[in-house]
Amino acid sequence: MQGPYEKKILDACARTGEPIPEKIQNRPVLLPGLEFYLQAWQELGYDRPLGFGVGPIPTASFRSYVHDMDMDDDDAERFHFIVREVDNFFVGHANKKDT
């Protein structure tokens, strides 16, 4: 799937004859069905507490999302595990201090 910024860059490369940036050429590709989890993580990210760094998505937000999506227990457990793992990675990376 191509985002609006990527499309602009690709159009500019085609227009100017510049090579396509390596980050676009070698971008990660999600397996079918995983887009749901990425989109949910992005949406739930708006619920993060504001403070002196990036905090995790609140558990209550997960519960609300699961309820709104009418997930059964197995789907809810899988959803929570996958999205929490992505969020843990993101929070750790965002709060990493340069040393």
- Cα three-residue angle 92-3-71, rounded to 5 degrees: 65
Question: What residue segments make up the domains of the chain, in order of their start?
Answer: 1-29, 31-99
User: Which H/E stretch holds residue 89?
Assistant: helix 73-94
pLDDT digits (tens, 9 = 90+) for 17-60: 999 999 888 888 888 889 999 999 999 999 998 888 899 999 99
User: 63-73: buried (b, 16+ CB within 10 Å) or exposed (e) per residue?
Assistant: eebbeeeeeee
For 54, the token pair is 């990036």
Judge contact between 25 and 17, C-beta under 8 A.
no
pLDDT exceeds cutoff 60 at 98: no
Confidence (pLDDT) at 1: 56
